[in-house]
Amino acid sequence: MLPPLARGADDRLQGNPAGLWSIADTRQEKRWVSLHDLARSGHTGIYHLEVLGLRRGDPAWKVRHLVDHMAITEEALLRSIIKPLKRGGVYPESFHWAYQAWQALNHGAGGDICQSNVLQCMRDNHP
């Protein structure tokens, strides 16, 4: 059983069960995040996501995994998202592998947690 939602757990995040949110695009690419295990994230305040992109003009099946896993605080996530999306989910295998690797870091305590925003953490940790 999970504890009550973390203090301040944002209703916007929990109210989008698809867990898909647009983030800033580039001239060449649409970008979005896919949140995983939304219920647990609402309790811990740490969200686990993958960053996806689609080059303009490419067919939908050419979705690119820009970041397979990122752990991020709720505040940093809220600074990053623009609007909820209904479509854009992908098979979760690459996320799951990267999440397991993140969990194993620091003797099982997990790795870095983004505190700024998705785009800054992409630049800093996922060149």
Q: In this structure, is residue 81 part of a structural domain?
A: yes
Query: What is the rounded distance in angstroms from the CA atom of residue 115 to the CA atom of residue 92?
Result: 24
Range of the domain at 117: 11-125
Residue 96 lies in a domain: yes
For residue range 26-71, what is the model confidence (pLDDT) as tens digits?
A: 999 999 999 998 888 888 899 999 999 999 999 999 999 999 999 9
Provide the pLDDT for residue 16: 86
Does 66 fall in a domain? yes
**Quick check: is 26 in a domain?**
yes
Mean pLDDT of 65-91: 94
Q: Tokens 């998202």 identify what position?
A: 81
Distance between CA atoms of 38 and 15, rounded to whole angstroms? 10
Which domain CATH number covers 39?
A: 3.90.70.190
Q: Is residue 3 assigned to a domain?
A: no
53 falls within a domain: yes
4 assigned to some structural domain: no
Domain count, the chain: 1
